[in-house]
């Protein structure tokens, strides 16, 4: 069902929670001082998070998906035009593109961008002020080229555009200090909203304000993580499935009297998925959304999941650290990467403000399904 809004829709003030579910998720202070305090500290105040009443989203039904990367010209002549330069972040993953203006990309150029993201997994664009200045409606339209956009069930969004997930930290020194009284690290290795039936395959992050130093995003190559495993271990996890759920996020919002826009969503996904464009196999599990590993007893799943997450955390040789610069935009492949923010700043002097748009793609393809399709063709 499409989102609906009642006539008396208004911004909703969320009280400060007792404890942070995720230190990167913004919560609006209970007083009206929020906008007065920070409106002059961001270049893009229209992207400050709001919580609107009267908005509800039913679970997204299955939909037919056609990946734009599959129709792209592999030469990428519409993307790599004169003056465009590419610099790798690591040998196998990540590319920084300079000389590209996202607002000037034609349809074929967007298809080629989808192919590049599928191949390199992370693409960083610098100097995108014009694209960021075009506003939420333009950016939503741009990302809809890559898939159906997800909607945020509890967190702050752009007013009138619930497709945006807004991350905003400014003057949160005390909250961050309180977080680290209870936690040893802020890192949460995750796929974005993997509880959806058709999780995001193409994700955009746009930086609106950032510290000069700190607040980087770290990305892990889940295809390379899979390739490092022994054939015996690969064979075991190839057959595994996990139930991903948003129930913890919804429960946390309820406990803190926050606004909720949907019921919890549960989806069953393969622990190893096959990329429809590159054919790569990638580990598809994370530290945030899976709640059950089907067919394993509790003690067994604890051992397997701990091993996989430790493997990912310690795999610095298949990770890339993306440093944020003013007016940068990052797009990454949600099918073959995990990522985490790094909270190594206190926002005393500079805010960290960015938006996320996530384009949902195909139902995750299991190894068995890919092999079956290959044998038929």
CA–CA–CA angle 254, 258, 263 (5° rounding)? 55
Q: What are residue 264's phi and psi, to 5 degrees?
A: -60, 145
State residue 324's pLDDT score: 93
Are 26 and 175 within 8 A, CB to CB?
Answer: no
What count of other Cβ atoms lies within 10 Å of the Cβ of residue 179? 16
Mean pLDDT of 194-210: 96
Tokens 């007013």 correspond to 159
What secondary structure does DSSP assign to 10-54, as a single string? -B-PPPPPSS-SSTTS----SSTHHHHHHGGG-S-GGGS-B-BTT
State how far the Cα of 87 lies from the Cα of 132, in Å rounded to an integer. 22
Q: Would the pLDDT of 320 be above 80? A: yes
User: How far from chain centre, in Å, is Cα 225?
Assistant: 19
User: How far from chain centre, in Å, is Cα 305?
Assistant: 21
> Parallel, antiparallel, or unpaired for β 95-98 and 122-125?
parallel
Lowest mean pLDDT among 28-32, 126-130, 141-145, 264-268: 28-32
Q: Would the pLDDT of 6 be above 70? A: no
Lowest mean pLDDT among 25-39, 67-81, 220-234: 25-39
Position 108 in a domain = yes
State residue 183's pLDDT score: 80
Position 23 in a domain = no
Position 11 in a domain = no
CA-nearest of 356, 331, 374 to 122 is 331
Q: What percent of the chain has pLDDT over 90?
A: 67
Position 1 in a domain = no
When the pLDDT of each residue in the chain is averaged and rounded to a whole number, the result is: 88
CA-nearest of 311, 272, 279 to 293 is 272
Mean pLDDT of 146-151: 97
State how far the Cα of 130 lies from the Cα of 43, in Å rounded to an integer. 13
Position 27 in a domain = no
Domain count across the chain: 1
Position 121 in a domain = yes
pTM score, whole prediction: 0.90
Question: Residues 161-185: pLDDT tens digits?
Answer: 999 999 887 767 777 777 788 888 8
Q: Give start and end residues of each alpha helix (H) in 147-230.
A: 173-182, 222-227
State residue 103's pLDDT score: 97
Lowest mean pLDDT among 36-40, 111-115, 139-143, 296-300: 36-40
What count of other Cβ atoms lies within 10 Å of the Cβ of residue 118? 23
CATH classification of the domain holding 96: 3.60.130.10
> Parallel, antiparallel, or unpaired for β 352-360 and 200-209?
antiparallel
Positive or negative CA dihedral for 48, 53, 55, 57? positive
Lowest mean pLDDT among 47-56, 81-90, 138-147, 311-320: 47-56
Domain ranges, residue 119: 33-376
Position 118 in a domain = yes
User: How far from chain centre, in Å, is Cα 317?
Assistant: 22
In the structure encoding, which two tokens stand for residue 41, read together? Answer: 């500290």
Position 18 in a domain = no
What secondary structure does DSSP assign to 340-376, as a single string? EE------SS--EEEEEEEEE-PPPPBHHHHHHHHHH
Q: Give start and end residues of each alpha helix (H) in 39-122.
A: 107-120
């Amino acid at each position: 069902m499409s989102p609906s809004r009642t006539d008396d829709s208004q911004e909703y003030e969320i009280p400060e929670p007792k404890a942070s579910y995720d230190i990167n998720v913004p919560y609006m202070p209970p007083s009206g001082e929020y906008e007065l305090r920070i409106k002059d500290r961001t270049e893009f105040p229209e992207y400050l998070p709001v919580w609107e009443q009267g908005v509800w989203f039913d679970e997204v039904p299955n939909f037919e998906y056609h990946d734009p990367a599959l129709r792209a010209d592999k030469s990428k002549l519409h993307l790599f035009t004169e003056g465009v330069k590419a610099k790798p972040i690591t040998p196998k993953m990540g590319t920084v593109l300079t000389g590209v203006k996202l607002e000037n990309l034609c349809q074929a150029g967007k298809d080629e961008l989808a192919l590049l993201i599928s191949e390199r997994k992370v693409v960083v664009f610098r100097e995108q002020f014009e694209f960021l200045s075009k506003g939420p409606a333009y950016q939503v339209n741009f990302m809809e080229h890559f898939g159906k956009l997800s909607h945020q069930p509890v967190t702050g969004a752009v007013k009138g555009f619930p497709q945006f997930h807004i991350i905003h930290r400014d003057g949160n020194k005390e909250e961050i200090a309180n977080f680290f009284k209870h936690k040893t690290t802020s890192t949460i290795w995750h796929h974005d909203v993997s509880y959806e039936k058709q999780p995001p395959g193409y994700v955009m992050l746009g930086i609106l304000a950032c510290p000069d130093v700190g607040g980087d995003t770290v990305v892990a190559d889940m295809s390379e993580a899979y390739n490092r495993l022994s054939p015996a271990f690969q064979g075991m996890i190839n057959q595994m499935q996990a139930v991903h759920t948003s129930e913890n996020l919804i429960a946390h919002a309820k406990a803190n009297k926050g606004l909720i826009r949907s019921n919890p969503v549960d989806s069953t996904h393969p622990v190893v998925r096959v990329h429809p464009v590159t054919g790569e196999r990638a580990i598809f599990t994370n530290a945030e959304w899976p709640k059950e590993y089907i067919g394993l007893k509790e003690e067994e799943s604890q051992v397997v999941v701990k091993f996989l997450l430790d493997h990912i955390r310690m795999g610095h040789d298949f990770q890339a650290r993306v440093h944020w610069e003013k007016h940068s935009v990052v797009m990454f492949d949600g099918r073959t990467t995990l990522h985490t923010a790094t909270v190594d700043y206190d926002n005393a002097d500079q805010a960290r403000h960015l938006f996320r748009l996530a384009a949902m793609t195909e139902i995750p393809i299991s190894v068995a399904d890919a092999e079956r399709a290959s044998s038929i063709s």
